[in-house]
Structure 1
Amino acid sequence: MKSILLPTDFSENADNAISYAVQLYKDVDCKFYILHTYTPVNISTGSMMDNYSTYAVQDAEKEIAAQKLQKIENRLKTDFKNTKHTFVTIASLNLLTSEMTEVIKNHDIDLVIMGTKGATGAKEIFIGTNTMHAIKKLECPIIAVPSGFKYEKPKDILFPTDYKISKSNLYLSLIKELCKEHTSILHILNIYQNIPLKEKQEQTEAFLDIFFEGNTHLFHTGEGQDIVEAIETFKTKHKVNFLIMIYSNHNFIENLLFKPVVNQMVYHTNIPFLVIPSEE
């Protein structure tokens, strides 16, 4: 059984991501952990009555959160009626990434699926603040679902890579499973930039060819293009509706994820993307 964490702030964006998650894994036995965190209230150092009032407010917030989480669970059971899926709701007085770290550790979470939206909704923000923090802090794969994206089968999946990835990365199996479940075409794209592949990179390319032998997969090269531009061009040309990236502090994804996209182009992702942590 796959364990999937679904953070929510009870927004329409979060609800949309949760609905996407249960449809993406509709044929898989899953336990979904629906998590809501609320910000700690500063504890007064004054009178006992002040402290009591603070705790009362926190208890009330937890009760409200629990009720809203139950409504989400009820909606999912009513709308999708999937006997393969079970749900656990968690309301916690904690910071989001801190609580996510604990839940991932304590419940052996395989995957996080969450919505993306900048705090201000600004178009130039590549992904939302919470999602950025999660990608940087959590050692767990994350699928980020853009605001308003309605579920569609991931028919064409784009996997940009510089081939500087570990062949022992256990999370590569997540890609294989996803492609198998949806009979997807996996497009493996290397951005050439006029630099020949080194021997180790060629070995990684050969490894991926064998690893994805049971999946329909194609290798592509985008010569001499800006990385973001190459991804956007390929995505449009091949009607890609799912994107996969391996995150590392030492590869091109670092710049792609946290670089404000201004001047040259506005790159605001409009398809779900899976970010896999490297094993460096």
Structure 2
Amino acid sequence: MKNILLPTDFSENAYNAIKYALQLLSDEECTFYLLNTYTPVLYDNEYLVYSSTQPTLTEIYRNNSLRGLERVLRKIKRNFQNDKHEFKKISSFNMLNDELKEQVKEKNIDLVVMGTKGATGAEEILFGTHTVHAIKKVKCPLLAVPSHYEYKPPKEILFPTDYESGLPKLLSFLKEIALKNASNIHILHVYLKTTLTEEQEKKKKALGSSLKNIAHHFYSIADKSVPQAIYDFQEENPIDMLAMVNNKHSFFENLLFRPVINEIGFHVKVPFLVIPSEKKR
């Protein structure tokens, strides 16, 4: 049984991510937690004092949150009937990323699935503040699904790595996806030096051994930035999912969290699976 956390702000973008999760895990026994957070920031003191018999602003927000969750659940059950899937609703007066962190720990969450913002006029993910902060805070795999992305089985998975970090235990989640979908994993290394160090060679060999039951291929690209190499690889090869390990000692945080990247978006057209390293956990 897997525990999956599905944050929603009741937008189509959020529901699109929920649809992807339900289809990706259609054969798995799962408990899906639908999460909505609300944080009323404006209070009318006179209203609170002189209208004490009326609902407070917090109560209004909470009722709207509960009604929204019920609407989403009805829509899911109307469109995705699956006896293997159970749903629970969580409405919380909290900041989203703080609540994500708490729920991941409390509910022993295996995966968080979030929608991303589509960049106007460009085929790319634009990582919003919530997504970037969630990637930094959440200590379980997180799957970011682009706006309007239509589900298809992830047959081709791109896995960029610098061979600098060890293999996290949570890589098993990626391996499960690959085995279930008979996927090919394309391991992409962008290098500055012509040869790998002895330690990098060991980690590359360990990665190959870990994927021995899964079709995988190694690629090396020189003289490009990592974002450009990923973008070019997707242009030249059919890719259904991007997966990376979030390790501060690798290129990951520089890749996603530099202000320029946050502003222009990251050129990813497919769902993006972020796997925390052991140190991140």
> Is the TM value for this pair above 0.5?
yes
1:92 matched to which residue of 2?
A: 92
Give me the CA root mean square deviation. Answer: 2.5
1:212 matched to which residue of 2?
A: 211
Structure 1, unaligned runs of 5 or more: none
Deviation per CA, 1:11-62: give whole Å up to 9, x if none.
1100101011100111111111010001143567789726958962211221
Deviation per CA, 1:68-104: give whole Å up to 9, x if none.
1112112112211111111111111110011111111
**Aligned CA distance change for structure 1 residues 135 and 121 (closer, same or farther; 3 Å):** farther
> Is the CA contact 1:243–1:274 (under 8 Å) kept in the aligned structure 2?
yes
- In structure 2, what is the Cα distance between the partners aligned to 1:257 and 1:54? 46
1:191 matched to which residue of 2?
A: 190
Deviation per CA, 1:113-145: give whole Å up to 9, x if none.
000117x96969741111001011221211000
Residue 243 of structure 1 aligns to a residue in which SS?
strand
2:117 matched to which residue of 1?
A: 117
Correspondence 1:246 to 2:239 = no
1:200 matched to which residue of 2?
A: 199
Residue 232 of structure 1 aligns to a residue in which SS?
helix
2:2 matched to which residue of 1?
A: 2
- In structure 1, what is the Cα distance between the partners aligned to 2:69 and 2:252? 34
2:128 matched to which residue of 1?
A: 128
Q: Which moved more, 1:171-180 or 1:47-56?
A: 47-56
Structure 2, unaligned runs of 5 or more: none
- In structure 1, what is the Cα distance between the partners aligned to 2:219 and 2:68? 46
Q: CA deviation at 1:217?
A: 1.0
- In structure 2, what is the Cα distance between the partners aligned to 1:251 and 1:184? 25
- In structure 1, what is the Cα distance between the partners aligned to 2:51 and 2:189? 58
Q: Which moved more, 1:172-181 or 1:40-49?
A: 40-49
Correspondence 1:270 to 2:243 = no
2:169 matched to which residue of 1?
A: 170
Q: CA deviation at 1:238?
A: 1.4
Residue 132 of structure 1 aligns to a residue in which SS?
helix
Correspondence 1:179 to 2:178 = yes
**Aligned CA distance change for structure 1 residues 268 and 220 (closer, same or farther; 3 Å):** closer
Residue 154 of structure 1 aligns to a residue in which SS?
coil
> Is the CA contact 2:142–2:273 (under 8 Å) kept in the aligned structure 1?
yes
**Aligned CA distance change for structure 1 residues 152 and 101 (closer, same or farther; 3 Å):** same
- In structure 2, what is the Cα distance between the partners aligned to 1:266 and 1:130? 14
Q: CA deviation at 1:219?
A: 1.1
1:18 matched to which residue of 2?
A: 18
Map 1:33-112 onto structure 2 (within 5 A).
33-41=33-41, 49=49, 52=52, 56-112=56-112
- In structure 1, what is the Cα distance between the partners aligned to 2:28 and 2:101? 24
Aligned length: 277
**Aligned CA distance change for structure 1 residues 54 and 145 (closer, same or farther; 3 Å):** farther
Q: CA deviation at 1:272?
A: 0.6
- In structure 2, what is the Cα distance between the partners aligned to 1:52 and 1:20? 44
Map 1:128-147 onto structure 2 (within 5 A).
128-147=128-147
**Aligned CA distance change for structure 1 residues 270 and 47 (closer, same or farther; 3 Å):** closer
- In structure 2, what is the Cα distance between the partners aligned to 1:54 and 1:218? 64
Residue 33 of structure 1 aligns to a residue in which SS?
strand
> Is the CA contact 2:125–2:269 (under 8 Å) kept in the aligned structure 1?
no
> Is the CA contact 1:111–1:143 (under 8 Å) kept in the aligned structure 2?
yes
Q: CA deviation at 1:268?
A: 3.5
